[in-house]
Amino acid sequence: MTLVREQLADPGAFAPVRTFFPWRDVCPRMTDVLDDDEIDDRLPAGWERDGDEIVRTFEFDAYLDGVGFAAAAGGLAQEAFHHPEMTIGWREVEVRLTTHEADGITDADLELAGRFNDLRE
């Protein structure tokens, strides 16, 4: 994650990512609320269900690593045009996802959660 610290030093590093192919235009079914079994079966590693949200707390060795992760996750969110709530704490970032338009958990949430996990690999 040291790369991220260098990126943070460059204010232009996280210039707004052009939003294209928002998932809803490409795959409208991604806004259908999933049932309990589907969610349980498809939750990405490390994520838990909390009502109408899925949540994971990512842990880091340094505060700025968490800040950098949140910035990178923000870029993925903007690219997907699907936005999590993120709480940056001391060496951890809590990420919560739900689909507001559908009032529940959809494919869009599970897809983006998997991409956030890939950031952490």
Ligand X SMILES: C[C@H](O)[C@H](O)[C@H]1CNC2=NC(N)=NC(=O)C2=N1
Question: Which residues of this protein are in contact with ligand X, per CB under 6 A?
Answer: 81-83, 98-101
**Structure tokens belonging to residue 20:** 């294209």
Cβ-based nearer residue to ligand X, 79 or 92: 79
14 residue type, one letter: F
Residue nearer to ligand X on the CB measure, 6 or 101: 101
Token output for 62: 């340094």
Nearer to ligand X, 4 or 112 (CB): 112
HSE, CB side, 13 Å, CA atoms: give it for residue 79.
13
- Residue 100 CB, nearest approach to ligand X (Å): 4
